[in-house]
Every structure is written in C-alpha cells, then in structure tokens.
Amino acid sequence: MPRTRFALSKTTLISLAALLATLMWLMGRQLVPEQVIDFSPILEQYFECQTQAENNRAALTVFIGAESVAKNLAKSLCANVVVAKQFGKVRAVWNHNEDQVLQYVGKGIADLALVKENLMEAVKGESTYGYRVVAAYPDYPAYLIAMREQPRISKEYLLDKRIGLLDYPTSRSGHIIPIQMFKSLNLNLDNMQITYANSHSELRNLLTSGRVDIVSSYWQDSDEAILSRNYITPIEQQVSGSKWYLKMETNNIDLFCAIQQTLIQVAHDQDSSYFSQLTAEPRCQA
C-alpha cells in the first residue's frame, strides 16, 4: 500500500506541474503581443528604367559590378530604339558577390553581363545559354601598390605587411593572382594581415588612409594624382580583361548590334583611361 500511495502522489505532482506550465504560457501570450518575424530577402542593388514600349512587359536584365556604369548603361539602353522594340524596361543589377555572379550568369538570368572569361567558362554559359561576346576590355598587368616604397616580392617582406585584397574570389588582379603569389612564397594566409575590400576604389581608400600598407590591383592613369608609379611592383604582366556577354538564344542580330554600339558609346564617356578602351568583338556590320 505505501508504494501505491507514493506512485499516485508522484503522478499527481507531474500533472499539476504540467497544468501550471500551460497556464503560465497562456498568461504570457496574453500579456505580450505577438510579433510577426520578418524574413524579408536581402535588398538587391538595381536600377530600372522604362523604354518607349510601355505596354511591353519584357525586361532586359543587365548584370555588372559597378553602380555608376550600371545606371548610365541602363539609361542609354532604355533610350535605344531597337531595345524599345523588344523590351519594355531595362533592369541593371550591380553586385561583386561571387554567388550573385553565379546566380545571374550560371542560371542564365542575365541577358547582358560583364564577367571574366574564366568564370563564363566555369559555368558553361556559352554552351548552355548561348552567351556570346559583344565587347571586351584589354588585358592589363596586376601590381602590388604601396604609398611610400616599392613593394618587394619576398616572404620576409610581405609577412609583416598589412595587405588589402578584393573580397571577390573571381577577381584576378585583386584576389586570385596575389593569393597564388603568397602560396608560392610559402606564406600562410592565416598568419598574414589581410583586409578585404568590395571594390578596387575601396582598396585605394584603404591604402591612402593608411589602413593597409599594400594593395593588389591594376594601375590606371587617375592613380597618378594620389599614388606614385615608382611604388608599384608587377606580379602578373597579362591579366585577361572582363568581357560583355549577351545571351543569344536566338540569332537576334538587331539587338546584338544595338547593345554593342551602346556599350562602345558609354565606354567612350568613361573618365578611366582603361575602361574607355572597350573593343567590339566582332564589330557588328549594321
């Protein structure tokens, strides 16, 4: 009998505890208002403009890394007569994130994209979606750039330096080539002082503000105003330039020619001596 009374008492206590917990939970819900948790997607950086074909719901999607170029190009494409015959709006997206590049190019979302040839080959964009080169920037050297001395390529010299690289694994001059050089010198990346930037202009800001000692990038004429050509060291003489690819699932020659001519015109309006050197490949015979 004592064992039976003990078992009943234990069961009763458990039931009472469960009931009390339920009552406390219900009271808490009444006292604290429900809040809807917002799982909104990350805001996308883009610019849209309308062509003259307001009733056309088709959109020409452009993918590029630079915001200023994206906006200028979109406006020029929206004003183009040929583009207006085929699209109701132009949507220019800018992003350096490699995942976004793979999303837009690797899945064929972008109609027009500025990417590196090696990345286009990696995602097999030409064979899968019919991407075709419209225009290309020239090859260029990659440099280590400093403020007050010419950088040296040695393990002892680089180990103690604060170095700026691009947080963009597909960038050859700002990421791939310097990383390969560090590894060839048997430098452990975990032991190095590396700061990552989102763009080449941000790399220059890190350097001129003294937050890093060296950056890896290309050299442009405008650098003469803030940096010295005596304080650059080449680490790769020929880096392939980015290329503009147009998705040509059909033989849309009118669109190809219109976009090529627009790209060349926008390039000529660029302040950069490098980015103004855009070459048509092949030049459209309008």
Q: For residue range 57-87, list pLDDT tens digits in order.
A: 999 999 987 787 889 999 999 999 999 999 9
List the alpha helices (DSSP H) in 46-137: 67-78, 81-86, 98-106, 117-122, 125-129
How far are the Cα atoms of 125, 166, 203, 283 from residue 200, in angstroms, in the given order? 26, 7, 5, 29
Percentage of the chain modeled with pLDDT above 90 = 55
- Residue 79: per-residue pLDDT: 96
Q: Which of 26-30, 99-103, 160-164, 239-243 has the lowest mean pLDDT?
A: 26-30
| Domain assignments of the chain as residue spans, ordered by start | 46-138+242-280, 140-239
Question: Taking the domain 46-138+242-280, which CATH number applies?
Answer: 3.40.190.10
Is there a shared CATH topology between the 46-138+242-280 domain and the 140-239 domain?
yes
- Residue 24: per-residue pLDDT: 66
- Residue 33: per-residue pLDDT: 44
Q: Is the peptide bond before 138 cis (omega within 30 degrees of 0)?
A: no
Q: Which residues partner with 62 through β-bridges?
A: 92, 112
- Residue 7: per-residue pLDDT: 47
Question: Which residue has better confidence, 194 or 35?
Answer: 194
- Residue 271: per-residue pLDDT: 67
Residue corresponding to tokens 């001059």: 173
Pick the CATH number of 140-239 from 3.40.50.300, 3.40.50.720, 3.30.70.1350, 3.40.190.10: 3.40.190.10
What is the value of pTM for the model shown? Answer: 0.70
* Other residues' Cβ atoms within 10 Å of the Cβ of residue 263: 21
Residue corresponding to tokens 């999303």: 103
What is the number of alpha carbons within 13 Å of residue 90 lying toward its C-beta? 25
Exposure string over 45-83, b if 16+ CB within 10 A, otherwise e: ebbeeebeeeeeeeebbbbbbbeebbbbbbebbbebebb
- Residue 2: per-residue pLDDT: 44
* Other residues' Cβ atoms within 10 Å of the Cβ of residue 16: 10
**Tens digits of residue pLDDT in 147-205:** 999 999 999 999 999 999 998 777 889 999 999 999 999 999 999 999 999 888 899 99
